[in-house]
Homo-oligomer: A and B are copies of this chain.
């Protein structure tokens, strides 16, 4: 099979009308003035972001989901994506059919379609770059700016599980199963992001660890966050040191939970939303005037450490 055979057999069935059956040099998207288009790109690289021996379907899903999480953080509805896949030619026959099946399954769950991309060979490693597109009503996207003094800081779900899954990926112990699953297949908080979009002042998805991503929120509004680390929602894992779990929550990456600022008067709305969606929402700090540092821990002698950097 050559480039065009793979595209026709495995990728064309994943497309929507904007893709024009992948026959043209570009996809054609009909703009609508009442909406903004939000656009984001995330790359996953073999040996850096994934091992390479995972099920290709899981690599596909994770690639799509980390991108969907960026759309969730903007309070937007994902609509389509394009895909640049580079891989060694000899891997194509094994990899592409499973990879495309993974995309197909997640497309159904998250209601997105493929609009185009590029399929190329590489000498050694697999590289998956997805550009995801979402829509909001005009000027309704949520950014990382806009927090006010007195806003509370909230986070969805629990934090740290993905890092624990990564650290124990080769373990077969049952107690790490959830953590490994969360690392492999994060859950982009799309519906939650849309529901939050009317009340939050700023939002980000936690891909680089709570401390680093909270610092982004503080910095972009030129405020300080006081973080109550006793409140940070962490998983309970049998016989795993609590400090290690907290460290994973504060500095581990890949959680893809939503972190947002909002006036504390919205607590009732947030409680109802949490019940309705069955997603935990926890208040973990508040914003105050900037002084000295963007982030400090409440009542703690310890100071924030540096977090994971992709580069």
**Residues of chain A at the chain B interface (Cβ within 8 Å):** 2-4, 6, 18, 20, 23-43, 45-49, 70-71, 73-74, 76, 82-84, 86, 89, 92, 115-125, 127, 129, 131-132, 134, 138, 141, 143-145, 204-205, 216, 220, 309-311
Which of chain B's residues has its CB closest to A220's CB? B23
Q: Is the CB of B27 within 8 A of A116?
A: no
CB distance from A204 to the nearest CB of B (A): 6
Q: Is the CB of A45 within 8 A of B122?
A: yes
Listed residue (A74, A118, A143) with the most chain B CB atoms within 10 angstroms of its CB: A118
Listed residue (A37, A38, A41, A116) with the most chain B CB atoms within 10 angstroms of its CB: A41
Listed residue (A20, A92, A145, A311) with the most chain B CB atoms within 10 angstroms of its CB: A311
- Give the residue of B6, B31, B40, B138 whose beta carbon is less than 8 angstroms from that of A35: B31
Q: Is the CB of B3 within 8 A of A311?
A: yes
Q: Is the CB of B205 within 8 A of A45?
A: no
Q: Is the CB of B129 within 8 A of A23?
A: no
A-B contact pairs, 26 of them (CB 8 A): A2-B309, A23-B143, A24-B143, A25-B71, A26-B70, A26-B73, A26-B141, A31-B32, A33-B33, A37-B37, A39-B116, A40-B116, A41-B84, A41-B117, A43-B84, A43-B86, A43-B127, A45-B122, A48-B121, A82-B131, A86-B127, A118-B129, A121-B310, A125-B125, A127-B129, A131-B131
Bound form: Cα–Cα A129–B144 in Å: 26
Chain B residues whose CB sits within 8 angstroms of the CB of A35 once the complex forms: 31
Which of chain B's residues has its CB closest to A37's CB? B29
Chain B residues whose CB sits within 8 angstroms of the CB of A48 once the complex forms: 86, 120-123
Chain B residues whose CB sits within 8 angstroms of the CB of A311 once the complex forms: 2-3, 6, 89, 92, 119-121
Chain B residues whose CB sits within 8 angstroms of the CB of A84 once the complex forms: 41-43, 84, 129, 131
Q: Is the CB of A43 within 8 A of B123?
A: no
Q: Is the CB of A26 within 8 A of B138?
A: no
Chain B residues whose CB sits within 8 angstroms of the CB of A92 once the complex forms: 311
Chain B residues whose CB sits within 8 angstroms of the CB of A49 once the complex forms: 120
Q: Is the CB of A31 within 8 A of B37?
A: yes
Chain B residues whose CB sits within 8 angstroms of the CB of A71 once the complex forms: 25-26
CB distance from A36 to the nearest CB of B (A): 5
Q: Is the CB of A32 within 8 A of B29?
A: no
Bound form: Cα–Cα A277–B203 in Å: 49
Question: What 9 pairs between A and B have smallest CB-CB spacing?
Answer: A3-B311, A26-B40, A31-B31, A25-B70, A47-B123, A26-B38, A33-B33, A84-B129, A25-B73
Q: Is the CB of A29 within 8 A of B23?
A: no
Q: Is the CB of A27 within 8 A of B23?
A: no
- Give the residue of B6, B42, B145 whose beta carbon is less than 8 angstroms from that of A118: B42
Bound form: Cα–Cα A129–B220 in Å: 28
Say whether, besides A122-B127, A310-B121, A144 and B30 are in contact (CB < 8 Å): no
Q: Is the CB of B121 within 8 A of A43?
A: no
Q: Is the CB of B82 within 8 A of A41?
A: yes
Which of chain B's residues has its CB closest to A120's CB? B43
